[in-house]
Amino acid sequence: MTSMRPPFPRPIEARDFDAIIASDKEMYPTDNPLTAQIMAKWFTHYPEFGMIYDGFGCCIIVPVTKSTWEAYIKQEIDESQLANGIFDGTSTIDSKIGLHLYHIEKSQAWTRQFDRMANIVLADIRTILYNINQRRATQLILKPLDVIGFSALAASDAGFNMAKKVFRMVPLYDAQEILYHNIKTQELAIFTTKNQPKSSNEWQIQGEVRLMALKGSSACRNLLFV
Ligand X SMILES: CC(C)(COP(=O)(O)OP(=O)(O)OC[C@H]1O[C@@H](n2cnc3c(N)ncnc32)[C@H](O)[C@@H]1OP(=O)(O)O)[C@@H](O)C(=O)NCCC(=O)NCCS
Summarize as ranges the residues that interact with ligand X (CB under 6 A): 27, 104-106, 112, 114-118, 154-156, 158-159, 161-162, 165
Q: Report the residue number, 137 or 205, with the smaller CB distance to ligand X.
A: 205
- Least distance in Å: CB of 27 to ligand X? 5
Q: Report the residue number, 66 or 164, with the smaller CB distance to ligand X.
A: 164
- Least distance in Å: CB of 213 to ligand X? 13
Cβ atoms of 122 and 226 closer than 8 Å: no
Q: Report the residue number, 20 or 220, with the smaller CB distance to ligand X.
A: 20
CA 188 to chain centroid, in Å, comes to 21
The torsion region of residue 168 among left (phi > 0), alpha (psi -120 to 50) and beta comes to left
- Least distance in Å: CB of 159 to ligand X? 3
Distance CA 215, CA 150 (A): 7
177-182 and 188-192 strand pairing = antiparallel
Distance CA 131, CA 148 (A): 18
Q: Report the residue number, 70 or 115, with the smaller CB distance to ligand X.
A: 115
Q: Which residue is nearest to ligand X (CB)?
A: 159
- Least distance in Å: CB of 136 to ligand X? 30
